[in-house]
């Protein structure tokens, strides 16, 4: 939609309210409900928000300890510049439209720490090489029968999973418990124009996996952002609760596997029919970059203290910087048996991830591989769990992951120093809040601090 | 004497490492510490934070939590360990290991230094960090004493911290964090949000410098 088309579109859909939707660093949806008049008057810069939205932690505390040039000398504003191509009429709130935004400074410059801006920058880097990416996410979450208010009162413990209490998945019996909830979710996704492929019950009690159609990276991220919001809204509207925490219970955790492929001039850049393994040189270097940067990328792909509870052996999440054809225990599952299917499934991210940043860091790793002609290590054809101590693994804590990202220069070269520096401070703040705010470093299972902080918001 | 931290140490482990290294500037205390053998744990009275100090063979190894074999366990208010209104710590096991408990307790309370001495050391560290003010003015509200650190050629690059001698000593020695003390009204400040934020980061890093 162009600015010239906006008035007609708002008329045609009888829109009286516009809700803006932008991603915070933690992946929360930031926005305002605006009257139609106010929304139109705010263009092209969009409505203003306090710049504290990028200096608050997820617990609502103002973060102190570092600075970035986009911030005002004391407290100031940032703007939410609407991307009018994302405008959609709400399928469940008549008269309201949603629009996704980029965060910009008061001068209109893209905010270097805005997740959507970061992803757009990486996509532009790919385009400069004549490449386009397609991505598809597998989003996992858990649904409980208690409303959020009751869940809060019980401190998010002893909740009733929607489904059998047994750790069993892919059964239509179990899925039937979820059908009313998920029918409403997909009805709203259809209304939002979000192309979904499938959903199924998953291995943990109350767990669902929702799969999306492949799309370009920005559209993919926008869809996941809106889907998370839609699922939480369905939970609220139906008196249930849903969470994207990586590990809200002692059962299997919530991951978000990210499939992606690369094309040049409309043809797969990953596939080479002339080679026995069908992997092109670009695919080999792309894998090399992803493996080389995987330990550093963990900081973004596993962003919370809770994320690391999922990353243990034999729990379906990878724990090593490895790759292999059709191996779901390695960090990367490579599929190269045909041009149509040629893709890589990056299996590290947890469902609490900021999807814009997840796609950005994965594509940045691949770009680093292309830039440096990085050859991948040997394929890891065994089961990549249960290795003896001393084996190379992925970082096992939010602080160790931040240290890895700080050491790595490949990702910073693509993502930008401003963003990486801000992110590192931000994650170390989260580490500090856990340890000094009541989190238990020695706890074997999820702590009350994690549940209070993440259950509803990530 | 070597102070060894576990990998990926918690904030409390890092802070205690700083405290021990500060105490070990005293040669007499170092000599006594080198002869220590035993396990001492310090835990928070308010939350799960805890650290175990394992002394042996002229070194001390620090790890989070309370080890099951700790001979002495001291429970304290970590936010107020040494102030005049500090609550009395709860001590377990000291009767069985009196000399060990006493020596470690001394190591955990470094000799006090006057706030200006601490402030100069803090500035030596801070002035090398990014985005810090060119000039830090510290004003002691007890007696009006002023300490100027660095120089502001432009006249627009100064930050001021005002507080009692005890509050200033707490921040500059690394016992508390500037931003937190500012929010709680323990100290006052004049200057930009930017410097309040950056100096808080420096204060945190200073508190944990012993981890380096």
B204 and A CB contact within 8 Å: yes
B193 touches chain A (CB under 8 A): yes
- Inter-chain residue contact B200 with A437, CB threshold 8 Å: no
The helix-helix angle for B11-23 and B193-207 (nearest 10°) equals 70
Which residues from chain B sit within 8 angstroms of residue A72, using beta carbons?
193
CB-based burial, A221-242: b 16+ in 10 Å, e otherwise: bbbbbbbbbbbbbbbeebebbb
**CB atoms closer than 10 angstroms to residue B97:** 16
Helix axis angle, A281-301 relative to A398-407, nearest 10°? 130
**SS3 (DSSP) at B21:** helix
Q: Which of A422, A421, A366, A415 is nearest to A118 (CA)?
A: A415
Phi, psi of A153 (to 5 degrees): -60, -35
List, in order, residues 6 or more apart from A164 with CB less than 8 Å away.
A173, A174, A177, A205
| First-to-final CA distance of chain A | 30
Report the C-alpha gap between B81 and A37 in whole angstroms: 58
**Residue contacts between A and B (CB atoms, under 8 Å):** 60
Chain B residues touching residue A399 (CB < 8 angstroms): 8
Contact A436 B47 (CB under 8 A): yes
Helix (H, G, I), strand (E, B) or coil at B93: coil
Note whether B2-107 and B115-211 share their fold: yes
**Residues of chain A contacting B, Cβ within 8 Å:** 63-67, 71-75, 396-397, 399-400, 425, 431-432, 435-443
Q: Which CATH superfamily is domain B115-211 in?
A: SCP2 sterol-binding domain (3.30.1050.10)
Contact criterion met (CB < 8 Å) for B48 and A438: yes
Reported as type and span, the H/E element at residue B64 is: strand B59-64
pLDDT of chain A along its 458 residues, tens only?
A: 888 999 999 999 999 999 999 999 999 999 999 999 999 999 999 999 999 999 999 999 888 888 888 888 788 999 999 999 999 999 999 999 999 999 999 999 999 999 999 999 999 999 999 999 999 999 999 999 999 999 999 999 999 999 998 888 899 999 999 999 999 999 999 999 999 999 999 999 999 999 999 999 999 999 999 999 999 999 999 999 999 999 999 889 999 999 999 999 999 999 999 999 999 999 999 999 999 999 999 999 999 999 999 999 888 899 999 999 999 999 999 999 999 999 999 999 999 999 999 999 999 999 999 999 999 999 999 999 988 777 789 999 999 999 999 999 999 999 999 999 999 999 999 999 999 899 998 899 999 999 999 999 99
Mean of per-residue pLDDT scores for chain B: 92
Q: What is the DSSP letter of B80?
A: S
Q: Which of B10, B50, B200 sits opposite A65 (nearest CB)?
A: B200
Is A440 in Cβ contact with B10 (below 8 Å)? no
Chain A contact for B194 (CB, 8 A cutoff): yes
- Minimal Cα distance from A65: which residue of B? B201
Q: What angle do CA A35, A37, A39 make, to 5 degrees?
A: 70
Query: Residue A400: how many CB atoms within 10 A of its CB?
Result: 17
Mind telling me how many Å the CA of B152 is from chain A's nearest CA? 18
- pLDDT 10s digits, B75-117: 999 877 766 778 889 999 999 999 999 999 999 988 888 999 9
Q: Is B30 near chain A, with CB under 8 Å?
A: no
Query: Does the distance separating the beta carbons of A425 and B201 come in below 8 Å?
Result: yes
> Which residue in this structure is represented by tokens 């997840």?
A358
Alpha-carbon distance B136 to nearest alpha carbon in chain A (angstroms): 17
Residue with tokens 């309210």: A17
Q: Would you call A64 and B196 a contact, using CB atoms and an 8 Å cutoff?
A: yes
Instruction: Compare CB distances from B12 to A66, A435, A440 and report the shortest one's residue.
Output: A435
- Nearest-Cα residue of chain B relative to residue A400: B8
pTM of the model: 0.94
**According to CATH, what is the number of the domain B2-107?**
3.30.1050.10
Show me where the domains of chain B are located.
Answer: 2-107, 115-211
Among residues B188, B182, B175, B172, which one has the least CA distance to residue B79?
A: B175
* Contact (CB<8Å) B11/A432: yes
Q: Report the candidate in A261, A256, A141, A274 with the shortest Cα–Cα distance to residue A201.
A: A141
Judge contact between A81 and A46, C-beta under 8 A.
yes
Do A65 and B197 make contact, defined as CB atoms within 8 angstroms? yes
This model of the complex carries an ipTM of: 0.89
Q: How far apart are the first and last CA of chain B?
A: 15
**pLDDT at res. B13:** 94
* DSSP secondary structure code for residue B203 in this structure: H
Among B10, B131, B194, whose Cβ lies nearest the Cβ of A435? B10
* Domains, in order of start, for chain A: 3-110 (3.10.20.70), 123-454 (3.30.590.10)
Cβ distance A66 to B198 less than 8 Å, yes or no, reads yes
Structure confidence at residue B210 (pLDDT)? 58
Q: Does A65 contact B64 at a Cβ distance shorter than 8 Å? A: no
* pLDDT classification of B212: cutoffs 50, 70, 90: very low
The tokens 């004003």 sit on which residue?
A: B139
User: Quick check: B210 and B18 in contact, CB under 8 A?
Assistant: yes
pLDDT of the residue at A129: 96
The answer to whether the beta carbons of residues B80 and B51 sit under 8 Å apart is no
The pLDDT value given to residue A81: 98
Subunit contact A441:B10, Cβ cutoff 8 A: yes
Q: Do B47 and A438 touch (CB under 8 A)?
A: yes
d(CA A111, CA A189): 29
Q: Is the alpha carbon torsion for A49, A51, A54, A57 positive or negative?
A: negative
Q: State how far residue A227 is from chain B, nearest Cα, in angstroms.
A: 35
Other Cβ atoms closer than 10 A to A353: 29
Give Cβ neighbours of residue A382 (< 8 Å, ≥ 6 apart).
none
- CB contact under 8 Å between A441 and B65, yes or no, is yes
Pairing state between β A267-268 and B135-140: unpaired
Amino acid B211: pLDDT:
53
* Chain B partners within 8 Å of A67 (Cβ): 131, 194, 197-198
Residues 127-156 of B with CB under 8 A from A: 131
Strands A17-23 and A33-35: antiparallel
The whole-angstrom separation of Cα A91 and Cα A100 is: 16
Contact check, Cβ <8 Å, B11/A436 = yes
**Nearest Cα residue in chain A from B43:** A440
Q: How confident is the model at residue B209 (pLDDT cuts 50, 70, 90)?
A: confident
Q: Residue B194: which of A67, A396, A443 has the nearest Cβ? A: A67
């Amino acid at each position: 939609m162009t600015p010239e088309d906006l008035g007609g579109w708002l008329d045609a859909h009888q829109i009286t309210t516009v809700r803006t939707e932008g991603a915070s660093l933690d992946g929360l949806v930031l926005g305002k409900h605006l009257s139609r008049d106010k929304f139109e008057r705010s263009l092209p810069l969009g409505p203003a928000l306090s710049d504290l939205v990028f200096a608050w932690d997820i617990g609502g505390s103002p973060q102190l300890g570092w600075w970035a040039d986009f911030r005002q000398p004391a407290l100031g504003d940032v703007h939410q510049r609407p991307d009018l191509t994302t405008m959609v009429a709400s399928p469940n709130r008549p008269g309201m439209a949603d629009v996704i935004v980029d965060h910009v400074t008061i001068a209109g410059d893209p905010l270097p720490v805005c997740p959507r801006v970061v992803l757009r920058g990486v996509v532009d880097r790919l385009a400069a090489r004549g490449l386009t990416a397609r991505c598809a996410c597998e989003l996992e979450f858990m649904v409980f029968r208690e409303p959020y208010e009751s869940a809060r009162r019980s401190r998010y413990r002893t909740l009733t999973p929607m489904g059998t209490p047994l750790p069993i998945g892919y059964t239509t019996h179990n899925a039937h418990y979820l059908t009313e909830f998920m029918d409403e979710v997909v009805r709203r996704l259809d209304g939002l124009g979000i192309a979904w492929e499938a959903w199924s019950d998953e291995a943990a009690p109350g767990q669902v996996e929702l799969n999306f159609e492949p799309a370009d990276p920005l559209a993919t991220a926008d869809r996941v952002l809106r889907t998370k919001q839609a699922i939480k809204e369905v939970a609220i509207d139906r008196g249930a609760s849903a969470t994207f925490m990586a590990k809200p219970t002692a059962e299997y955790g919530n991951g978000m596997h990210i499939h992606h492929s690369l094309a040049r001039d409309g043809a797969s850049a990953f596939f080479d029919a002339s080679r026995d393994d069908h992997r092109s040189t670009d695919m080999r270097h792309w894998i090399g970059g992803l493996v080389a940067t995987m330990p550093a990328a963990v900081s973004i792909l596993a962003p919370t203290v809770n994320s690391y509870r999922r990353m243990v052996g034999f729990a379906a999440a990878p724990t090593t910087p490895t790759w292999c054809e059709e191996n779901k225990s390695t960090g990367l599952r490579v599929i190269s048996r045909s041009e149509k299917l040629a893709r890589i499934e990056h299996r590290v991210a947890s469902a609490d991830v900021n999807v814009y940043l997840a796609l950005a860091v994965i594509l940045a790793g691949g770009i680093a591989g292309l830039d440096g002609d990085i050859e991948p290590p040997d394929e890891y054809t065994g089961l990549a769990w249960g290795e003896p101590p001393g084996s190379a693994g992925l970082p096992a804590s939010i602080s160790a992951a931040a240290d890895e990202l700080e050491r790595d220069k490949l990702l910073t070269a693509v993502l930008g120093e401003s963003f990486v520096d801000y992110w590192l401070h931000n994650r170390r703040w989260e580490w500090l809040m856990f340890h000094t705010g009541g989190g238990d470093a020695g706890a074997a299972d999820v702590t009350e601090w994690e549940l209070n902080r993440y259950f509803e918001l990530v | 004497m070597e102070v060894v931290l576990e990998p990926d140490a918690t904030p409390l482990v890092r802070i205690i490492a700083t405290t021990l290294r500060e105490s070990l500037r005293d040669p007499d205390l170092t000599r006594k510490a080198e002869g220590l053998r035993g396990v001492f744990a310090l835990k928070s009275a308010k939350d799960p934070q805890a650290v175990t100090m394992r002394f042996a063979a002229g070194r001390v190894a620090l790890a989070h939590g309370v080890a099951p074999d700790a001979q002495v366990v001291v429970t304290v208010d970590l936010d107020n360990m040494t102030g005049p209104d500090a609550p009395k710590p709860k001590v377990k096991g000291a009767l069985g290991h009196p000399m060990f408990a006493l020596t470690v307790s001394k190591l955990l309370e470094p000799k006090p230094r006057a706030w200006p001495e601490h402030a100069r050391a803090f500035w030596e560290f801070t002035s090398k960090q990014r985005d810090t003010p060119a000039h830090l003015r510290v004003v002691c509200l007890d007696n009006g004493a002023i300490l100027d650190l660095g120089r502001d050629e432009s006249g627009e690059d100064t930050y001021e911290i005002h507080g009692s001698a005890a509050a200033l000593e707490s921040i500059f020695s690394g016992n508390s964090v500037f931003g937190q003390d500012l929010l709680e009204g323990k100290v006052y400040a004049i200057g930009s949000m930017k410097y309040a934020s950056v100096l808080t980061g420096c204060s945190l890093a200073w508190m944990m410098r012993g981890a380096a």
